[in-house]
Amino acid sequence: MTETGILAYLAANRYAGRGILIGLSDDSSQAIIGYFLMGRSVNSRNRIIVEQGNGLLTRAWDEKLMQDPSLIIYAPLRVEGRHTVVSNGDQTDTIVRYLREGGSFAAALRSRVYEPDAPHFTPRISAVATVHQGNFYYRLSVIKRTGPEEPACLRQFFEYEPTPGIGHLLHTYMGDDEPLPSFSGEPVAVRLRGEVDIGSLAGGLWQALDADNRVSLALRYISLADGSQTTMIINRHGQGE
């Protein structure tokens, strides 16, 4: 497995879109779960991430500026028992419903397709992290259109055994072209070595995201010892930008 530095990787992509990071801290004590969103339009940038119970929710920063909430207001993170579900859309709720009813992560996502936002057809990226009795594993998925002229839907699933100091990053876009180029390949293996402090990692990730396009970032640490959670949220609005 070839790893890359996550901060340098993000800094090299002006528009990564929305992204999910999951991995294991260098000392094997914490499951690390991150989510970020970027935006180019007024509607996309008019958002913040807030805590809702033990999960997270996007909402409008200024209700008067909200145009179409259909693809931008959703729960990027929910907890269902031992599972933490993360996604870039309302498929979070689909996954949670399937898990609650005894179904699987993969089965839930086989019921969904990519976003209907032509001409971009944004991929749906999702992940589930499971922490139970000191054990931790995670799965990621991307659902995307097979090509600009091909409406077929490609669903990819990836499952990892955690490695100390390593995470996997999945994001929606490979750059700022028109139409936006979808993510391709496997989730990116990134180095998290030395990252134990949540504030340091969250701040580093925020600074690595393009300053014009970054909107919100959330980072959660889950203790493998006792399941306790620590969450940090950084929003564009309220940060003096």
Which residue from 82, 80, 33 is spatially nearest to 94, judged by alpha carbons? 80
pLDDT digits (tens, 9 = 90+) for 16-29: 999 999 999 999 99
The per-residue pLDDT for 233 is: 98
Look at the alpha carbons of 37, 43, 46, 49 in this order and tell me if their dihedral is positive or negative.
Answer: negative
Tell me the residue type at 212. Answer: D
pLDDT digits (tens, 9 = 90+) for 153-164: 999 999 998 999
The per-residue pLDDT for 147 is: 80
User: What are the helix (H) ranges across 48-187?
Assistant: 91-100, 105-109
Q: Phi, psi at residue 101, to the nearest 5°?
A: -95, 10
Enumerate residue ranges in the chain where pLDDT < 50. Answer: 240-241
The 3-state DSSP class for residue 225 equals coil
**How far apart (Å, rounded) are the C-alpha atoms in residues 208 and 5?**
11
User: What are the helix (H) ranges across 58-210?
Assistant: 91-100, 105-109, 198-208
The per-residue pLDDT for 184 is: 94
CB 141 within 8 A of CB 168: no
From residue 133, alpha-carbon distances to 27, 101, 128, 223 in Å are 17, 22, 17, 10
The per-residue pLDDT for 195 is: 55
Q: CATH assignment of 4-235, given 3.40.50.150, 2.120.10.30, 3.60.20.20, 3.30.200.210?
A: 3.60.20.20
Helix, strand, coil content of the chain in percent (nearest 5): 15, 40, 40
CB 221 within 8 A of CB 199: no
Where do the structural domains in the chain lie, given as residue ranges?
A: 4-235
- pTM of the model as a whole: 0.95
The per-residue pLDDT for 241 is: 45
Task: Write out the two tokens for 218.
Answer: 């959330």
- Strand pairing of 47-52 and 55-60? antiparallel
